[in-house]
Chain A
């Protein structure tokens, strides 16, 4: 299977969207206009997009604290997302979820999750739904290297294998669980962990869109064909701190600069497609420009959008009570 020109443009557009979105949130958070905690996905774009390019609205994903990128990769509306992150009434979740719980079930996005390791059991459930209803759907749990040590993740590997679920676990290993290095916190290897459950597992360079895309293609195909779960260990790079405001004193001073200069996923993608003659630089430039404008517009609108009111405080607790 090959990526069409449309697919490539779409993938690039989504990655740029994530980058611009996160850079804008970074700026606005620093300026004090965004409340709460935010955890940015900048630098990890190729991983989420490489996986989600294989998914449609009937497929589910569960995300992490670092959920904006997965949302955008799953095609959630950037405008509604920006309003949500600003806590506004017309945000994607009515201003009640915010950055850490941003979700859109109509797009199969089962939520960022404030609980590390909260998503994988849920994704077993979404996969069970697909299997029971025989609708061909698959479900993907994104987890970080930190979450990979949670019991819920191991329980989910086991359950997905025992029930032969169309589930995919993507361990996005950015090297740090908050401030703690995965070299310290993770015993064994992610791939070996998958294999211990007899789950096909592969390690990929998460900065390389094409590597992720290919690994995910195989996993999704396996899941759709009744072949059960897969695990992808995606090594990614985190440009910002665990949360915004993190001074990152635990990281080498030049680490991020080095990544940005040599391992940037957008840069790698551009180089690959232009060198191969798949896309021309001008088309990519056009995407860069239009996305930048779009995000700038979203920020302006988010700032101007109305806050929720007292009447919204007690709605949406129950469907009926």
Chain B
């Protein structure tokens, strides 16, 4: 097949406009396969391994290590040997010309932006992407997180579903007055959000504390839940790293916060300076400190998870899957052991707590597969 395939700078999250290709893992002329980690890319938010979107021979590398280019810029060209070098050069010239035009045209374009909705007197911020006809997907972040935590997931999921990533009360751009701070209270807010958006049933994807919220809804309100994908969730055991939770609350300086955030991932270099700065910016907002403490005291009272739904998991009426990184330092992956056979469990050995960032492609596939089964 004489097709020419492109590898371009990916868009990781809405805010990303450019990325730096930190280093290639492969050289020109190498054969790459889809899903293979071929480069390290750093955005202002996060550094991550970049998986090849295509398979074939990497005939041309256009961006060298250390260079920063816009999203969509041509990084490399994949084609088999039947394509001549001249054909590749002309393809590249053509691509670059069109890309320059597109870039100029899109400069004024606006992508989807977060919106807010009032739920029981609270302002809830959410980001909607996609307008698929099927059952929508609702993404719920964990403690101290926000809707941007799904930056590697939401665009991919939105290709098939309407997706909503929400900010829980006290988090992101939602109201900082958390009200009922325990998981049941947070679940009430999510239900209220579903009502406000006219969503009868949703596939829930919840991370960590948000996983606990999803699990709570699956067990208590199965009529509203099509499926639940639980990413390193709360609610399946007593353990929680209070070193992380308290460190997150207390660190007001970059130097202190950086090692705390590095606990979230298997590879600490994934945490960029800007990611730390973004968390600091969130923590500086009026009301956040009180909100974080209130949620901590409700959800992790006495240094243990307050809610355990492990025993109810066997009788839950909706499909539930659990995905965990075995290097999770926040909620241990051992909580995924001994779950009822009805629960699909996937673990990754080379990932930590931010499993949906560290294993974005795999997690996205698992969510889509799960959601497709309904």
A and B touch in the complex (CB under 8 A): no
A interface residues (Cβ-Cβ under 8 A, vs B): none
Chain B residues in the interface with A (C-beta under 8 A): none
